[in-house]
Amino acid sequence: MNASVPAAPAERKAVSLLRLRAMLEAGEKIAMLTAYDAGFARAADDAGVDSLLGGDSLGMVVQGGSSTVPVTLEEVAYHVRCVARGRRHAWLIADLPFGSYEESREQSLRSSAVLARAGAQMVKLEGSWAAETVRFLVERGIVVCAHLGLTPQSASALGGYRVQGRDEAAADRLASEARALADAGAAMLVLELVPAALARRVQQENPALVVIGIGAGGDVAGQVLVLHDMLGVTAAPMPRFVRDFGREGGGVREAVRRYVAAVKDGSFPDATLHTY
């Protein structure tokens, strides 16, 4: 009798918003990384990352600046276009940089259109004030990710890069802001540098909202890290919430595979080492 031939592995399907929501409902963790060019986007995509963020963090890790504020819409669009050419499956999000959406809702739509034409499937904006902007964009067919907690574009107004929502009043305020953004139609929310208990509360109070944490504990839908931090190649001191997945060697794809596996099995972030 002839030996059976092993079945070919199933072709990985492109990640959609529906797929991300299904992962949330099923309790499957979402692994996200930033990306700024086609080569690293392809490597991360091949390694199984679920989503890529064309982030304004490029101002710090690519351009060498001290903040994200100087980054322009044209610069983000250029890098998003590069990432879009490299990705094959991952859901692609783009940051609306500082000064590209605050002036008016109409400005936010024009800027979102620029990023959509560059290949973005979702745009991300920062701040609790933006609920009506979110509603305006969603009504016009733009898929939106909000960002609360430490918002890098306004870090100086928050007293620098520090944990947000530590006291009861601040936690209640952030939870209320998250509900308002979800009610306005935000499909995703990045929570940065907030206590794990607060992030857990936000996810529980908004069960249909895809909450992605960075320095926010593991009891949310998924995790995001800056690619350069995750690989251990950032020159600046690493934040507490970062784990260097490149330390074990094996190249970029292997490092990303370790990151994806750790997010999926819940070993990252560690409740002691990486959370507040």
Is 13 known as a binding-site position? no
Distance, CA of 223 to chain centre: 7
CA angle 77, 82, 87 (to 5 degrees): 120
Is 95 known as a binding-site position? yes
Is 100 known as a binding-site position? no
User: Which parts of the chain fold into alpha helices (H)?
Assistant: 17-26, 38-46, 58-61, 73-86, 105-118, 131-139, 168-183, 196-205, 227-231, 252-265
Torsion of CA 152, 158, 160, 162, to 10 degrees: -90
Q: Contact 178/194 with Cβ under 8 angstroms? A: no
Alpha-carbon span 28 to 168, nearest angstrom: 30
Single out the catalytic residue among 168, 192, 205, 254.
192
Torsion of CA 62, 53, 220, 49, to 10 degrees: -100
> Is 28 known to be catalytic?
no
Is 28 known as a binding-site position? no
- Closest by CA to 143, choosing from 105, 100, 98, 93, is 93
What 3-state class would DSSP assign to 92? strand
Looking at residue 143, the DSSP 8-state letter turns out to be -
Alpha-carbon span 151 to 202, nearest angstrom: 17
What 3-state class would DSSP assign to 46? helix
Is 126 known as a binding-site position? yes
Alpha-carbon span 185 to 172, nearest angstrom: 20
What residue numbers does the annotated binding site for Mg(2+) cover?
A: 56, 95, 126
What residue numbers does the annotated binding site for 3-methyl-2-oxobutanoate cover?
A: 56-57, 95, 124
Give the residue numbers marked as catalytic. 192
